[in-house]
Amino acid sequence: MCLAVPGRIVSASGEGLDRVGKVDFGGILKEACLAYVPEAEVGDYVIVHVGFALSKVDEAEARRVFAYLAEMGELEELGADGGST
């Protein structure tokens, strides 16, 4: 199943369409394109789908989604490829 998942930006580099960042999904770090959320900064939470950050969310919302994913047993699937892209 393909889900849009919240994660916290831990680093960012580049500008415009080349802006990318490392995003922490509950301990699993993956790279994501940040071009669609130019206002997002290190420490912010973003919703990521297929490697693209689509929008910012607050920390409370991100934690709620992680709790739901844990209940459904979906968190393990985030790291299925070894935790990197």
Q: What is the pLDDT of residues 1-46, one digit of tens each?
A: 577 899 999 999 999 999 999 999 988 999 999 999 999 999 999 9
On whether residue 83 sits in a domain, the answer given is: no
**What sections of 2-78 are H helices per DSSP?**
59-72, 75-78
Residue 80's pLDDT is what? 45
- Sign for the pseudo-dihedral over CA of 51, 84, 30, 26: positive
How many other CB atoms sit within 10 Å of the CB of residue 52? 15
Tokens of 28: 């699993």
On whether residue 20 sits in a domain, the answer given is: yes
Tokens 């459904």 — which residue? Answer: 72
Range of the domain at 17: 5-76
**CATH number assigned to the domain comprising residue 26:** 2.30.30.140
Count of domains in the chain? 1
Residue 16's pLDDT is what? 94
Q: Which of 73, 51, 72 is nearest to 7 (CA)?
A: 51
